Structure 1
């Protein structure tokens, strides 16, 4: 999707407005069409609030149609028939196009159970989750009643739409939909930032193959040039951050044992707040290390 200025959305025709924002809510351009009546918008927050108001005030049958317009997660038949570009990118970003057999079977089971009970697709903002946390959310929501799940579906649709709007509309204000994961390595042996430490971030999976999120190297400040995850939510789930400190100390000719007492340091941690800033630093010597939950 190409970006568009909020000023241009205020000035354009209704048809152009709908063409630009019609896919923000899945297969529901009527929401963008009705939101044009609230123009002009001071910023992206006011625009998004206007679109939410359209949904909030819509007839129950329209809200139900909005819910039913969303695809099942990791459904091979629906993927073959063709998802919207937005849904495809969002599901692929969560790794739902690369499921193990065990994960695919688990998704089929919970999708079927959810549809059987509620008569609607299970909807979750996939960009805020890992494969593990989506499956856990399925199980958490299955005991609910239908009214609760209809509202949960609308709330998740709002999260999906907010991310689409945030990436599409350029405005002085911003929607609070992105998080950040960062790290910092301090060489406590020499009392300085540790430059040149190789780092790998992996998303862990209970049923499938853990996948590498990013690989990078610390800079002169002991940080990475870019956060490990940024300009998107930090997906709920479990991760492992591995620091290659053995080669770092060897490269600085620090006396260590052979083989080194500390070579690869793996830190396992969990993310529960996708829109927050989570900082996972490492303080290290050849013989010890420490970490903490920063922000």
Structure 2
């Protein structure tokens, strides 16, 4: 349940800690430390106080915070019960429905990482796809313990920022969201293309690709809502499919049979989860173009 910041500022310590106890996984001591800094002018100030508590904590307490996190895609831990927050985060990226090849890949890297560092691999999964998590695993395995300790704490803070922004109602927002949008221009008529069906697909190397969003362009040639918005745009590889053949047919534009261009698929990648990526399409029955917008 969301909490207004004003209510948290007025809370007794026990209520304040109970509300924020799991912003940092199984670590209510972070909220206990932050309580003394009340009242907070906004959620950014609240998060800064919680982050400072982590940064100033003894080394052993920071290590305990790292070890409190679960392995990713671990069936045993799922059976034992994850926190509601961890479960929702892992499910959001599809870690509850992996292919056999993906489960094997996650088991391999989880074991290799724990064997080397003695604590679980931690990444803010809401900023990633399954493929990019596995890639990040491989990139981080060569690091030393000090580097991975610092990296893990930074990822924990990213996780906490997203949890806090979802929980606390405030006049300000934490800078944790990105946006993916599109815009279709009918170059045959020189107008925005209204009524084109658009499908966004997250591509996967080891498992099944999945549809992330479906929409139809409006009178401005845009979708009413961003294809991804109100959350990070996960790092990964995507495909946008535009149904242009049916669009031109419905407008009685002369076409070949079958149409030279029917469904146009644009493949692209996302590297900045908090950025705005705009992928427009300029189309005629015989040609199309795109570019990276913002």
Q: Same fold (TM over 0.5)?
A: yes
Residue 33 of structure 1, CA deviation: 1.1
Please tell me whether residue 193 in structure 1 is matched to residue 208 in structure 2.
no
The answer for unaligned runs of 5 or more in structure 2 is none
Q: Which residue of 2 aligns with 1:27?
A: 26
Matches within 5 A, 1:24-63: 24-63=23-62
Residue 8 of structure 1, CA deviation: 1.1
CA distance in 1, matches of 2:39, 2:171: 15
* SS in structure 2 at match of 1:38: coil
Q: Which residue of 2 aligns with 1:213?
A: 212
Q: Which residue of 2 aligns with 1:230?
A: 229
Please tell me whether residue 259 in structure 1 is matched to residue 287 in structure 2.
no
* SS in structure 1 at match of 2:115: helix
Q: Which residue of 2 aligns with 1:153?
A: 152
TM-score (norm 1): 0.99
Aligned residues: 294
CA distance in 2, matches of 1:282, 1:21: 44
* SS in structure 1 at match of 2:150: helix
CA distance in 1, matches of 2:18, 2:283: 53
Residue 49 of structure 1, CA deviation: 0.4
Residue 34 of structure 1, CA deviation: 1.2
CA distance in 2, matches of 1:75, 1:201: 28
Residue 221 of structure 1, CA deviation: 1.2
Q: Which residue of 2 aligns with 1:6?
A: 5
CA distance in 1, matches of 2:125, 2:182: 24
- Deviating beyond 4 angstroms after TM superposition, the runs of 4 or more aligned structure 1 residues are none
The answer for unaligned runs of 5 or more in structure 1 is none
Which digits, 9 at most, give the CA deviation of each residue in 1:82-138, with x for residues without a partner? 000000000000110110000000000000000000000000000000000000000
Q: Which residue of 2 aligns with 1:273?
A: 272
Residue 176 of structure 1, CA deviation: 0.3
Please tell me whether residue 88 in structure 1 is matched to residue 87 in structure 2.
yes
CA distance in 1, matches of 2:127, 2:268: 16
CA distance in 1, matches of 2:21, 2:275: 29
TM-score (norm 2): 0.99
* SS in structure 2 at match of 1:159: helix
* SS in structure 2 at match of 1:255: coil
**Aligned CA-pair RMSD:** 0.5
Residue 182 of structure 1, CA deviation: 0.4
* SS in structure 2 at match of 1:122: coil
CA distance in 2, matches of 1:293, 1:21: 39
* SS in structure 1 at match of 2:8: helix
CA distance in 1, matches of 2:265, 2:31: 47
CA distance in 1, matches of 2:12, 2:190: 61
